[in-house]
Amino acid sequence: MDEVLVVCPHCGKVNRASREKLAGGLRPDCGACGATLFPGAIEAKDDADFERHVARTNLPILVDFWAAWCGPCKMMAPQFAAAAKKMDGSARFLKVDTESLQQTAARFNIRSIPTMVMIVNGREIARQAGATDASNIIRWAMSHGVHA
């Protein structure tokens, strides 16, 4: 598949991008609103927004389930962001605040945070609980088929 489908984190429009150009380092802007499609890790706005990303993105999606009260989550946030910067364009790095997206947290049966979940073609293929650093996140993603 040569085309990547990705949801604009700003306006929600589904955009198409060339996989080859993404691999070459190009980071396109949204055709509708002009926002960058790959700003690093992005926050799902609500449960519907999360569903839209999952349903309409054909890149692997790495989800970081977190909450503001969770100390280890705060420690992990910059690590997740760093991994996102490195792998943006090969995967979508999506954050889910489990306090506001309770429906999504329940659907994924999140029992402890932080928890990372990898979604490919709408299905969970892997998960890992506990805080970790950027190099481990990258290694974990690569072991599940994401290119660095």
Shorter beta-carbon distance to Zn ion: residue 53 or 108: 53
Which regions of the chain does DSSP assign to beta strands (E)?
A: 3-7, 14-18, 42-43, 61-66, 92-97, 115-120, 123-129
Closest approach, Cβ 15 to Zn ion, in A, equals 7
- Cα–Cα distance, 49 to 31 (Å, whole number): 19
Shorter beta-carbon distance to Zn ion: residue 33 or 125: 33
Q: Which residues of the chain form contacts with Zn ion (CB under 5 A)?
A: 8, 10-11, 13, 30, 32-33, 35
30 among known catalytic residues = no
**Candidate list 8, 11, 33, 73, residue with the active-site label:** 73
70 among known catalytic residues = yes
Shorter beta-carbon distance to Zn ion: residue 35 or 68: 35
Ramachandran class of 94: left when φ > 0, alpha when ψ lies in -120 to 50, beta otherwise: beta
Shorter beta-carbon distance to Zn ion: residue 39 or 72: 39
Q: Which of 134, 123, 136, 11 is nearest to 60 (CA)?
A: 123
Question: For the packed helices 134-143 and 71-87, what is the interaxial angle rounded to 10 degrees?
Answer: 60
Number of Cβ within a 10 Å radius of residue 143 = 10
Closest approach, Cβ 107 to Zn ion, in A, equals 26
Active-site annotation, residues? 70, 73
